[in-house]
Amino acid sequence: MADRTELYKRYSILSIPIYYLRRVYEFWQSEAAQLSTAAVGTIVILLTAYKFGLFVWSFIRPSTLQRYCHAETGSWALVTGANDGIGRAFADELLSRGFNVLLHGRNPEKLERVKKELAAKYPRRTLDIAVADASRTDQPEQAVVDKVKKLPGKLVILVNNVGGVNTTPKYQSHAETTPANIDTILYINARFPVHLTAALLPTLRENKPALIINCGSATGSFGLPYLATYSGTKAFTEGFSKSLDAELACEGLEKDIEVKCITINNTRSAGNQGEMPLFTIDALELARGSLAKVGSGNVVEYGHWRHALQAFVMGSLPESWLRAAMVPEMRKRKAEEEEEAKRQ
């Protein structure tokens, strides 16, 4: 008897949750609960289908890029960092759409070669070059602005593509990165495009409608080890683009100057030879997809559905899982770079 009383005292506390669980179960079996669950499920399915529909439409909708090809004296696009890779791909695609292109880079020999190759491919278009080292602090953007003023036409598109990690080593802990290398990354990826945009906004406003495309990176959202400064500049690019677009709206210019920030994931280029199955695209695919996004009404977008899918997958993972996959991969890249440096 004593043992039974002791057991009752010990487990009597369970009677309360058992009681409420029973009430919940009884409610769940009711017709009202079944109807409510069906209604909620239907709403969730419809919302999911709606979002999926918007996602698909964003990649098949017609672009409004051609509204910017309007100058009788010739519509010009400035592409920074156009020596190769993504910048050259943007230039190629814009030329194919009827725009003349001003190629920017820091190496005049490379620029002249690219100019010659593209001119042969598009003989009816006009190309020019602007040489400026984006890593310098002595107002390198002014050389580009001066070149724009001499164009035989109107500048209507600015593609702020120049960027990346041009320092050696590429993969390095933030504590070990020299102040000079930190400044170089900041100047190329943040300072130069911001100053260039500010200097050219009056020209773009005068030549309206005009378009500004800023090239961002998924590293700004996820952050990569050994690329802390670079990742930070790409988060800055997204914030800068959103703020600039809102500012133009405040001034009543939202229909005159369109601002877009293209978030870039794994893309084959001279500085990136890594492959990710399904998610890796080439530079021309990225440029073509990015220009197709013009006129969508959104500021920040992915230029290709593969990159959007990659971001969705990565964003769906718990942060701890994402880091567990990211850390060993970046350690591997850093070790490979160090081994390559030793062999040289």
In the block, which residue shows the tokens 């002791």? Answer: 6
User: Which 3-state string (H, E, C) describes the chain?
Assistant: CHHHHHHHHHHHHHHHHHHHHHHHHHHHCCHHHHHHHHHHHHHHHHHHHHHHHHHHHHHHCCCCHHHHCCCCCCEEEEECCCCCHHHHHHHHHHHHCCCEEEEEECCHHHHHHHHHHHHHHCCCCCEEEEECCCCCCCCCHHHHHHHHHCCCCEEEEEEECCCCCCCCCCCCCCCCCCHHHHHHHHHHHHHHHHHHHHHHHHHHHHCCCEEEEEECCCHHHHCCCCCHHHHHHHHHHHHHHHHHHHHHHHCCCCCCEEEEEEECCCEEECCECCCCCCCCEEHHHHHHHHHHCCCCCCCEEECCHHHHHHHHHHHHCCHHHHHHHHHHHHHHHHHHHHHHHHHC
Cis peptide leading into 209, omega within 30 of 0? yes
- Give the number of C-alpha atoms closer than 13 A to the C-alpha of residue 156, restricted to the C-beta side: 24
Distance CA 232, CA 249 (A): 26
The angle at the Cα of 338, spanning 137 to 110, to the nearest 5 degrees, equals 45
pLDDT recorded at residue 14: 57
Backbone angles phi, psi at 129, to 5 degrees: -125, 155
Distance CA 240, CA 60 (A): 27
Strand 300-302 with 127-131, pairing:
unpaired
pLDDT recorded at residue 2: 52
- In the set 68, 122, 187, 230, the catalytic residue is 230
pLDDT recorded at residue 16: 63
pLDDT recorded at residue 259: 97
| Catalytic residue list contains 230 | yes
Q: Which two tokens stand for residue 258?
A: 């369109």
pLDDT recorded at residue 68: 92
Yes or no: say if 266 and 274 are a contact pair by the CB < 8 Å rule. yes
- To the question of domain 60-317 being in CATH 3.20.20.70, the answer is no
pTM: 0.84
From first to last of its 344 residues, what are the pLDDT tens digits of the chain?
A: 555 555 555 555 556 666 667 776 666 677 776 777 788 888 888 888 888 777 777 778 888 999 998 877 789 999 999 998 999 999 999 999 999 999 999 999 999 999 999 999 999 999 999 999 999 989 999 999 999 999 999 999 999 999 888 888 888 889 999 999 999 999 999 999 999 999 999 999 999 999 999 999 988 888 888 999 999 999 999 999 999 999 999 999 989 999 999 998 877 766 665 666 667 888 899 999 999 999 988 999 998 888 888 878 887 788 888 888 888 888 888 888 888 888 87
